[in-house]
Structure 1
Amino acid sequence: MKLAPHLHRIGNDIVAAYLIVSDDGITVIDAALPGHWKDLERELAELGRTPRDIRGLILTHGDSDHIGFAERLRREYGAPVFVHEADAHRARTGEKPKVSTGPMRLVPTLGFFAYALRKRAIPTAYVSEVVEVHDGDVLDLPGQPVIVGMPGHSPGSIAVHSRLADAVFVGDALTTRHVLTGRKGLQPAPFTDDPAEASASLDRLSGLDASWVLPGHGAPWRGSPAEVAAAVRAGGA
């Protein structure tokens, strides 16, 4: 789905990934679930591109619903997979601390897990080789993506800022649709390692200039990162 001239989304409001599209190639942000590979191929075909036009894939963190087709893209097409050093082990192995899910409602929770199964979430294809990145890095990829450290949801959670796309991709630093309650609007994401640290990290969004704030779960949000961060802190919008 085209959001803007250089910005596309695959997936839906349950699980999503994004493409930064330029004349020099494509940068993918997150890899959703393994079954989203066909969604990726369809979106690329509509653009007149193929997976060989993807110059790199950036993971906002190493959780299983964000690394879905990453290993396939790396193995079959040689696209490097970038992840913050603090989440590199998680992306390679799936190891993570036990976390609190927070509130849950039966129907949305079952819907989330049913969708994950349809998109072949099991077994998880972990990423055997990653390129580690750090806060402040500017990657030599289409869209000149900038890495913004957002620890809390996981130790190596990041946002990715691209002026070309006029967007900041926030992964699970926040959500606009809680996958376990179905509640829509700006709010903290579930399955967070350290909620207090995640809340503090929202300050990192305030200085970014963008028209889109794009979460891994929920609808794309039009608005300034500073306004979004304030709304999440205030309890959602």
Structure 2
Amino acid sequence: MKLAPHLHRLGNDIVASYLIDLPEGITLVDAGLPGHWNDLQRTLAELGRPLSDIRGLVLTHGDSDHIGFAERLHSEADVPIFIHSADAHRVRTGEKPKTPMGPARVGPLLGFLAYGVRKKGLRTRHVTDVMTVADGEVLDLPGSPVIIGMPGHSPGSIAVHIPAADAVFVGDALTTRHVLTGQVGPQPAPFTDEPTEAIASLDRLAAVSASWVLPGHGAPWRGSPADIAAAVRAGS
């Protein structure tokens, strides 16, 4: 789905990842579920770009519904995978602390689980070879992604600011559609390790200049990071 020049979404409001298409190459942010490999192939075909044009994949954190096709992309196309050092163990092993599920409604919960099964979420492969990044780092990838530390959902959660796309990609630092309740609108994401820390990290997001805020779950936000950060705080 094309959102704007150079900016494309793979997946949907349940689980999403993103493709930034620039003349010098392609940068991906997150890898959704394994079945989103087909979405990636279809988008590349629409753009007339080969898989070899992908220069790197940046993961906002190491949870399974964000790393879906990452290992396949690395093994088949030798694309480097980037993740914050604090989430490197999580992405390699899948180990994470247990967090309370919180509120849920049967319909949205079953829809989320069914979508995960349909997109082969039960077959997610952990990522064996990653390159670690740190807060403030600017990556040598198309669009010069800027890493913004957003700890809370996980220790190594990040936002990725790509000025060339006028967008900041936030993973699960916030959501615009709660996958367990179906509630829409800016709000904290479920399954967050440290909710208080996640809310505090919104201060860092609010300082970013961009016209798009793009979460891993929910509709894209067309507006300022400061406004969506304030809306999440108001609803937390």
TM-score interval, normalised by the smaller of the two chains: over 0.9
Q: Work out whether residues 100 and 193 of structure 1, in 8 Å CA contact, stay in contact via their aligned partners in 2.
A: no
> How far 1:100 moved relative to its partner?
1.4
Superimposed CA distance per residue, residues 61-90 of structure 1 (whole angstroms, 9 cap, x where no aligned partner) = 000000000000001001000000000010
The TM-score with structure 2 as length reference comes to 0.99
Partner Cα distance (2:149, 2:6) in 1: 23
| Partner residue in 1 for 2:223 | 223
What is the RMSD computed on CA atoms of the aligned residues? Answer: 0.7
Which structure's residues are more often helix, by fraction? 2
Any idea what SS the aligned residue of 1:87 has?
helix
Deviates more, 1:160-169 or 1:96-105: 96-105
Which consecutive aligned stretches of 4+ in structure 1 deviate over 2 angstroms post-superposition?
A: none
| Partner residue in 2 for 1:74 | 74
| Partner residue in 2 for 1:165 | 165
Partner Cα distance (2:131, 2:101) in 1: 29
Partner Cα distance (1:73, 1:123) in 2: 15
Superimposed CA distance per residue, residues 106-154 of structure 1 (whole angstroms, 9 cap, x where no aligned partner) = 1100110110000001122100000000000000001110000000000
Letter in 1 for 2:74: R
Deviates more, 1:117-126 or 1:59-68: 117-126
> How far 1:221 moved relative to its partner?
0.5
| Partner residue in 2 for 1:134 | 134
Letter in 1 for 2:219: A
Partner Cα distance (1:123, 1:70) in 2: 12
| Structure 2 runs not aligned, ≥5 long | none
| Partner residue in 2 for 1:27 | 27
Q: Work out whether residues 18 and 29 of structure 1, in 8 Å CA contact, stay in contact via their aligned partners in 2.
A: yes
| Partner residue in 2 for 1:64 | 64
Aligned length: 236
Partner Cα distance (2:142, 2:100) in 1: 36
| Partner residue in 1 for 2:143 | 143
Partner Cα distance (2:35, 2:111) in 1: 16
Q: Work out whether residues 177 and 186 of structure 1, in 8 Å CA contact, stay in contact via their aligned partners in 2.
A: yes
Q: Work out whether residues 69 and 124 of structure 2, in 8 Å CA contact, stay in contact via their aligned partners in 1.
A: no
Superimposed CA distance per residue, residues 28-79 of structure 1 (whole angstroms, 9 cap, x where no aligned partner) = 0000000000000000100001211100000000000000000000010010
| Structure 1 runs not aligned, ≥5 long | none
Any idea what SS the aligned residue of 1:65 has?
helix
Letter in 2 for 1:14: I
Any idea what SS the aligned residue of 2:64 has?
coil
| Partner residue in 1 for 2:52 | 52
Q: Work out whether residues 34 and 123 of structure 2, in 8 Å CA contact, stay in contact via their aligned partners in 1.
A: no
Letter in 2 for 1:201: S
Matching of residue 192 in structure 1 with residue 187 in structure 2: no
Letter in 2 for 1:143: G
